[in-house]
Amino acid sequence: MLDAKLTSKSHSHHQTIIKLTADITVGGEDLLIIGGPCAVESLEQMEAVASQLATAPIQALRGGVYKPRTSPYAFQGLGLAGLEILKAVRRRYGLPVVTEVMSIDQIEAIAESVDLLQVGSRNMQNFDLLKALGEVNKPVLLKRGLAATIEEFVCAAEYILSHGNSQVILCERGIRSFDPYTRNVLDLGAVVALKQITHLPVIVDPSHAAGKRELVPDLAKAAIACGADGLIIECHPEPEKSVSDARQALSLEEMVELVQSLRPIAAAVGRRVLNKSKVNASTLRQSFRALQAQRPVKSQKGKT
């Protein structure tokens, strides 16, 4: 492998464990399961996700506030207002949060607000962004480029490490191929190879790979069975109404079911799904109801 000085394993058991919080890690025995919508749409949406999934249990929340969309006319994300929403749910539910950083000028605000900075597929070889993230003292989730080779992927991670940040998590999210039935092709061979070559944690995004919600749970199970250190999965309180990637979003109930179904597979490969939520399910439900009750009823002024 070309110039993978810092990402390559130095011996066969060499494995980096990255801490998102004091309790939540990735790369060790505990799986990191990240759930949430493609895009942050409102505080209510994120409250619903966090309150229902904290005890699923997921170990981190996702939600994009800067969205790399194919069309410039599509929803581009809530930006800083979305970041405030992420900060609020992070505080209230004690769950670490991940969001995408698209440019160098966004790094400071995002690094101050969240626990894990995502580099999207479209930016995997944005070398200036990678170098700048090398100077940040926060973990980075690096997604594989749409058509990146394993070597290019590893070299992209090497950029971040060689600029000083060794907290990099790799994410396989499917690669382009000829068949439009699935949005991308989930390359589990790459997961096995990356686990053999590098000491970095490797997680899988079956949502962007499949593009269809009905394919997500089985691909998630396959990913854990082949040695992935975790998953990042899109889910939404009202999946069909998602502003982006609606077709691949699971409902929150489906997400809970999926997390539970991973337990025996995790156990079979020597891993576990950690249940370390700081709050229990009934406290979460009460807190969500209290929040809803506090909301001002919409003004009826102007209506006849």
The three-class DSSP label of residue 250 is strand
Q: How far is the CB of 295 from ligand PEP (least distance, A)?
A: 28
Question: Hunting for tokens 């082949």 — which residue is that?
Answer: 226
| Contact of 222 with 261, CB cutoff 8 Å | no
Give the helix ranges, DSSP H, for 29-101: 43-53, 80-93
Q: Does residue 208 belong to the site contacting ligand PEP (CB under 6 A)?
A: yes
Task: Determine the interface stretch with ligand PEP among 51-59, 119-127, 251-259, 262-270 (rule: CB under 6 A).
Answer: 119-127
The span from the first CA to the last CA of the chain, in angstroms, equals: 70
Residue from 120, 201, 206, 230 touching ligand PEP (CB under 6 A): that is 120
Q: How far is the CB of 146 from ligand PEP (least distance, A)?
A: 7
Instruction: Please give the Cα distance from 182 to 46 (Å, whole number).
Output: 28
68 binds, among ligand PEP, Mn ion, none (CB under 5 to 8 A by kind): ligand PEP
Using the minimum distance from each CB to ligand PEP, give the nearer residue, 122 or 163: 122
Q: How far is the CB of 250 from ligand PEP (least distance, A)?
A: 14
Using the minimum distance from each CB to Mn ion, give the nearer residue, 38 or 61: 38
Contacts of 34 (CB under 8 A, 6+ apart): 58, 59, 60, 61, 62, 98, 203, 230, 231, 232, 233
Q: Does residue 173 belong to the site contacting ligand PEP (CB under 6 A)?
A: yes
Instruction: Please give the Cα distance from 279 to 34 (Å, whole number).
Output: 18
What secondary structure, in 3-state letters, does 184-198 show?
A: CECCHHHHHHHHHHE
Using the minimum distance from each CB to ligand PEP, give the nearer residue, 64 or 139: 64
Q: Does residue 38 belong to the site contacting ligand PEP (CB under 6 A)?
A: yes
Instruction: Please give the Cα distance from 79 to 68 (Å, whole number).
Output: 12
Q: How far is the CB of 172 from ligand PEP (least distance, A)?
A: 10
Q: How far is the CB of 93 from Mn ion (least distance, A)?
A: 21
Structure tokens at 56: 């699923």
Residue from 121, 126, 242, 248 touching ligand PEP (CB under 6 A): that is 121
Residue from 27, 35, 64, 217 touching ligand PEP (CB under 6 A): that is 64
Q: How far is the CB of 168 from Mn ion (least distance, A)?
A: 21
Which residues of the shown chain bind Mn ion in the complex (CB under 5 A)? Answer: 38, 245
Structure tokens at 100: 């995408």
| Contact of 165 with 155, CB cutoff 8 Å | no
Using the minimum distance from each CB to ligand PEP, give the nearer residue, 24 or 40: 40
Q: Does residue 175 belong to the site contacting ligand PEP (CB under 6 A)?
A: no
163 binds, among Mn ion, ligand PEP, none (CB under 5 to 8 A by kind): none
- Residue 291 identity (one-letter amino acid): L
| Extended strands (E) in 124-235 | 140-143, 168-172, 202-204, 230-234
Q: How far is the CB of 109 from ligand PEP (least distance, A)?
A: 19
Instruction: Please give the Cα distance from 57 to 227 (Å, whole number).
Output: 20
69 binds, among ligand PEP, Mn ion, none (CB under 5 to 8 A by kind): none
- Using CB under 6 A as the criterion, which residues of the chain lie in contact with ligand PEP when the complex forms? 38, 64, 68, 120-122, 143, 173, 205, 208
